[in-house]
Amino acid sequence: MTPRKRRRAPPAEPEYVPGQLLDWRDGRHWSTRELPCRYCGFPTHLRDSRMKPAHKVCAEDALALRAAEAQAAYHQRGTL
């Protein structure tokens, strides 16, 4: 007799809480020059990982939106 495999429950959907997705404590995310955010257009000293001006919350919202779009596409087509 072959052993049965237990089905794992799908992981719980983590709730998105602004400010908890990205860690920008490193000094490389700060610039002395203020430029408009690439997402909202308001001035910011912060830089994302590609050194483009972006507020942390704006970047997190954009990442959450991309993840939701990818998830919707996956569920609709069954593949990315």
H-helix or E-strand spanning residue 33: strand 30-36
pLDDT, one tens digit per residue, over 19-30 is 566 778 888 889
Beta carbons within 8 Å of 73's beta carbon, 6+ residues apart: 80
Domain boundaries, the chain: 27-77
CA–CA separation, 76 vs 78, rounded Å? 6
Taking the whole predicted model, whether its pTM rises above 0.85 is answered as no
pLDDT, one tens digit per residue, over 21-72 is 677 888 888 999 999 999 999 999 999 888 999 999 899 889 888 888 888 8
